[in-house]
Structure 1
Amino acid sequence: MKLSDIRCERLREKDSLTATKLLSLDADTGHDLLQVLEEEPELLIAAYVDETLIALVQLEASAPQSHLNVFVAPQYRRQGIGRALMQVAEAQLQAGGTRKISTSVRSGVSPSLAFARSLGYTPYYSLIYMERTGGSFPQETASARLYRDEDFVDAHSLYATAFHEMRVRVGCFPDSVVAEPNEGRRTAWAADAQDRLVYELDGKIAAYSHIHGNEISSVSVRSDLQRRGIGRTFMKYLCNEIHRRGYTSVILSCVVGNEAIHLYNSLGFQETHRMEYMIKSPDNSEHSRSGPALPASLQ
């Protein structure tokens, strides 16, 4: 097969089932793209030979830092396809203004790690994925409620400051800054306000969280109120809320080095797997300027 035979386009809805089957062929490398397929299929580019789906590319929009992943069907590996797709996607992101590109591999999958390194990616940070299946906690009094638009300034400030301080403590994020609020983010928060919650203390927002399905995708406590039991009480409330919505388990992820893992362990969360995130600056890497030819862009 010639690389020039490959056609790339946005994943078609009618091919979603085929994509699920393809990603299921290798659970170690396909697991996380299965979640992307379920939640954000618009991020996926499909690679075809004739009408056969042979690979998928997770391609975020160009931004100062964007994320990129490639999955190639096992029977089409070791033919240069994954490398070529990565290089085309990197070039497209760079042309759109991306200065840094991250990718991720599951810990313990040596070929994937070696592949990323061969393309110039270096270690960035690691995430521990955790799950709790112990059912609801005994009901406790918690001053928690759904997020409202008028909470945005205080909730965003709390969230942005707490995560910046965590990144500084962990030491893997030298470029971390406190994210500034903007109207685009405010609109996005309002769009799924039913999945955002706040915890109040003395009439002021003391903690904030965003849940997505059965996942606690973020949780943060105001810096000056940490180590006062608010995080534990709020976490129990969030777990109970997720169970109330019909789920039987709760999942979350934690940056390696984040002390919050001790709280999660004490609440019954157990590690399921780890992901290694890697990063590169394409404009400083010779890997982005060489390699097999493919169509000029991923559409």
Structure 2
Amino acid sequence: MPITKTAVLLLGFLLMALVAATSRASLTFSAGIENSQWYLSSSIFECSLTHNIPRYGRAVFFHEAGENLQFYLSTPRNPMRKGQAALVLEAPTWRPGSMVTDLGYVAVAQQTRPISVGQSKASQMMDSLLQGMMPTFTRRARFGDETIRVEVSSINFSQYYEDYLTCVAGLLPVNFRQVERTAVFFKVDEAVLSDSDIQALEKVILYVKADPSVTAIFVDGHTDVTGRRIYNRRLSKDRAEAVTDYLITAGISPEVITTRYHGERYPVVDNRKPESLARNRRTTVRLERGTKPPKVDDSVLDITEEGSF
């Protein structure tokens, strides 16, 4: 039976469709049943649950002190194209028939942590893993037309979950970034700590006592521009010493504290704007890690006669 021109064209179209389908095949990164592992890292500063994904990198649930739960993918070479990846919760191949939950899209960046997920979706992902589901990210390949799939396996996840919850319960209420620089503010002509000031300082004290890498604390007193310079210098000294005394009374070693006072110098806002002066009536507390407090020249801190200004 002779082959008609129509049949030739149809065969050509079928071949083209086959080639196109092949070029759009998916490449899946996933840990199989035999090598799916989770690892817990815990401290009072952070808790993390890490899952190794062969040939890809890591999937990490990360909860830092003072912050919300986050999830991220880490890879030395991101195979996904920059843009938006679809995130779904689906059943593994050995559990067919379960419903797929669509969590929407997440951003893909060209970096070693190409995908980061915030608290809400990260919590849903964690809950789904406890139910044996598999969070999956899908995105076009960075180079080529194939689809990239990254699957997060639920196997062995539940055995670390209780320990993870225990770790989270023991986290500090703040992290270093949140207390690295703290400002307490004062009323006009006063050097008395308010309740809110004390609450802020208590967070600093709690963190410093927990983190031995904090080796220097700088306390700097300031005033606004109202008043005479010698008076402002004395007032800034009183404000700085009020904070220093509170830290020492709470158990912070005076050896790590450097106390300084500057009067109206170094304003954070323009002193010519009366409505902003309150922000200059402050004492700042700055923490440093891994360094020793520099030796302080006492002559710099002395209250001098007004004629010296």
Fold shared per TM-score above 0.5: no
Q: Which structure has the higher relative contact order (CA within 8 Å, separation 6+)? A: 1
Question: Higher Cα Rg: structure 1 or 2?
Answer: 2
More helix by share: 1
TM-score interval w.r.t. the shorter chain?
under 0.3
TM-score normalized with structure 2 length: 0.25
